[in-house]
Structure 1
Amino acid sequence: MLNAITDVAGLTVGHATDLVRATGVTAIIFDQPAVCSVDVRGGAPGTRETDLLDPERTVQAVDAIALSGGSAFGLEAAAGIGAWLVAQGRGFAIGATRVPIVPGAILFDLLNGGDKSWGRYGPYRELGFSAAEAARAGPVAMGTVGAGTGANTADLKGGLGTASALSPSGHRVGALVAVNALGSVTIGSTGHFWAATDEQHGEFGGRGLPSPWPADANRIKLKGTTAANTTIALVATDAVLTKAEARHLAVMAQDGLGRAIRPIHTPLDGDTVFAAATGKQPLADIPRDMALIGATAASVLARAVARAVHEATALAVPGALPAWRAEFGASS
């Protein structure tokens, strides 16, 4: 186990990072079409083909998921991933034609100081193609990469994070998240993470919860540029699930965002969690196994959020928010 979403058999991950523009794209490519659904919360989502993921819709599986910066411009990333899939002969078969199914979600990183003067068309289609081309199994780069490149939180640099675990049901569960929240992932003015109760093996500093409890722990921290938000994620499992079960998995996984980010699902966030099943391991007891897989998904997503911020590095732009390691990495 690499503590990454790629521990789930049947998928690969690739990033495309543009540090000059302070933005990027992350592509998750499924080896075979995967059952997928989604849960969208908050007041300002930016998504592509999420209606298709309702359980009653015709298409039952997807070829890839696109996570991107760029706000509405970033929705073009899925077209670039789709172009790469077409070159591989992938897609939903309609006669002699194949149409890649690539749902996606975006976060807002247009005001982070990067050069957004890209002319008539944004760079996201090409970034999407490059991310798909770079997709590999094995370790997944974290921090200021891919869709997390331009991400920020209320008080620290955001980023891209991943984590995984083995559910008590025997199924592998992984999460991948780009953290660009209106709120904060740390407790008060400390470097302790809200997700500390889920941490494994010191993966984001091993600090646990602060003691004594800080007086400002429950102070609400909000990003100064309140429109520049949204956290987007994928949780995946090797279980055999229906679309309805994948939808419920996405609902349970959203609790991980609630454990790791405060506040969450605000009118100025568009928090979106996809849930995918690669269908390698059947369920023995459907209700019980689903409860265990969902609880594990919430935990790994909370951990992935903290890891995203823990691993991030500050953008090289004026006024950039500090990285967690610069603020807290040298202290106990």
Structure 2
Amino acid sequence: MTPGPRNLITDVPGLLVGNAQDETLKSGTTVLTAANSFTASVHVMGGAPGTRETDLLAPDKSVSRVDAIVLSGGSAFGLDACSGVSDALRADGRGFQVGSAVVPIVPGAILFDLLNGGAKDWDQNPYRALGQLAFQNASDQFDLGSAGAGTGALAAMHKGGLGSASLVLDSGIIVGALVAANPMGSVTTPGDRHFWAAPFEIEGEFGGLGPDSSSGLGRNVASRKASAMRPAQADKANTTIAIVATDADLSKPQCQRLAVAAHDGIARAIVPAHTPGDGDLVFGVSAGNQPLKTEADLGLLGHAASLCLARAIARAIYLATPALGDLLPCWSDGHDFR
């Protein structure tokens, strides 16, 4: 397995990603879409998710194809970004046909960034407009780090962000991940230098410092985020939301299995993960027609998706950039924050 030419989820042919953000708000939205609808499902492992249309993605529900997926900041307010994307899709005449009506299918998930220091005193919910703009910005190239849904994200010890990564399997099938990382847990080991995901890094994509050689790791759960907020608030100000996608021809149940396996990537890159205060969620997407030969091939796809997601999370934090009023340092600011 090797990274695709962009090392982005848009290495999966046909997929496009758009970002929109407001620096004063310290928040934003990211949209995944394509020229045609695609098969999708979802799996939630966090205890505090915020979602739209995810029930529809269960394997037993009737609609299997969607027109876009939204990742957004803004907590419950951010779900309105899906409405902005729906507006843009409807204007393009895209959606689920019901008689003469066309209904765009736009699932979404949000992270909590309302206490990150940005101006949240709006008179009108800004996320509908951000969703529409993100859709209009959709391209096969997009920014990582402090962009889109990752603009105001915070991990336990550093500023969070938007990340992506890809792998091309020996069969030629492509897998990619897109993530907005705002976890309760830390993405680095104690000392802030080494990423938990370091064993899975490829070609220095998030610093090339290698794994932490210490033993007994995982027992220190210090959090600058908790110190910057009241602890009772910090317990609720989290979530890692992601999409994993492939050009393999998967059914809706197989997309869900892809999403389930990809959660391993969250656990490899964030400690602790899947807590009651996180809304950790992964969408699984099939946007191609590459055939799978055996059930073992699906297992390999899930493994590749988990590797992509772990790397994408580390890249999100590695590429975050500082802004006025930040509560936490960026990893790139240096390694001695104590």
What TM-score range do you get, normalising by the shorter chain? over 0.9
Give the Cα separation in 1 of the matches to 2:215 and 2:61.
Answer: 49
Name the residue aligned to 1:321: 328
Alignment partners' CA distance in 2, 1:276 and 1:129: 21
User: Match for 1:311: what amino acid?
Assistant: L
Q: Which runs of 4+ in 1 moved over 2 A?
A: 167-170, 214-218
Report what 1:52 is aligned to: 56
Match of 1:288 among 285, 291, 296: 296
User: Given residue 176 of structure 1, which amino acid in structure 2 is its aligned partner?
Assistant: L
The alpha-carbon deviation at position 214 of structure 1 amounts to: 6.5
Corresponding position: 1:278 with 2:280: no
Residue number in structure 1 paired with 2:113: 109
Deviation string, structure 1 residues 224-268 (Cα, Å, up to 9, x no partner): 022210010000000000000000000000000000000001010
Contact 1:189-1:216 at 8 Å conserved across structures: no
Task: Give 2:260's match in structure 1, choosing from 251, 255, 269.
Answer: 251
Show CA shifts across 1:105-160 (max 9, x none). Answer: 000000000000001x31000000000000011x3210000000010001100000
1:215 Cα deviation from its structure 2 partner = 7.0
1:35-63 CA distances to partner (integer Å, 9 max, x unpaired)? 10000111110000000001111111000
Unmatched segments (≥5 aa) in structure 2: 227-233
Structure 2 match to 1:67: 71
Specify which of 133, 136, 146 is matched with residue 136 of structure 2.
Answer: 133
Partner of 2:18, secondary structure, is strand
5+ residue gaps, structure 1: none
What is the aligned partner in structure 2 of residue 219 from structure 1?
Answer: 220
Distance 2:79 2:155 in 1: 21
Find the counterpart in structure 1 of residue 318 from structure 2. 310
Residues 13 and 288 in structure 2, CA contact (< 8 A), matched pair in contact too = no
Deviation at residue 288 of structure 1 after TM alignment:
1.3
Q: Spell out, residue by residue over 1:204-239, the C-alpha distance to the aligned partner (whole angstroms, 9 max, x if none).
A: 00011123x177653123430222100100000000
Secondary structure in structure 1 of the residue aligned to 2:239:
coil
Identity, in percent, stands at 52
Query: Normalising by the residue count of structure 1, what TM-score does the alignment of the two structures yield?
Result: 0.95
Q: 2:90 aligns with which of 71, 86, 89?
A: 86
Partner of 1:237 in structure 2?
A: 246
Change (3 A) 1:214 1:140: farther
Q: Does structure 2 retain, via aligned residues, the 8 Å contact 1:45–1:271?
A: yes
Structure 2 match to 1:161? 163
- Give, in whole Å, the separation in 2 of the partners of 1:19 and 1:190: 26
Q: Tell me, yes or no, if the aligned pair for 1:181 and 1:264 is still in contact at 8 Å.
A: yes
CA distance in 2, matches of 1:215, 1:45: 31
Shift in Å, 1:167: 2.3
TM-score between the two structures when normalised by the length of structure 2: 0.93
* Contact 1:63 1:91 (C-alpha < 8 Å) held by counterparts: yes
**How do 1:142-161 and structure 2 match up within 5 A?**
142-161=144-163
Deviation, structure 1 residue 17: 0.9
| Aligned amino acid, residue 325 of structure 1 | S
- Rounded Cα–Cα distance in structure 2 between residues aligned with 1:184 and 1:130: 31
- 1:24 aligns to what SS in structure 2? strand
Counterpart for residue 184 of structure 1: 186
Mapped partners of 1:189, 1:41: distance in 2: 28
CA RMSD of aligned residues (A): 1.3
Query: What number of residue pairs does the alignment pair up?
Result: 324
Given candidates 114, 118, 125, the residue that maps to 2:122 is: 118
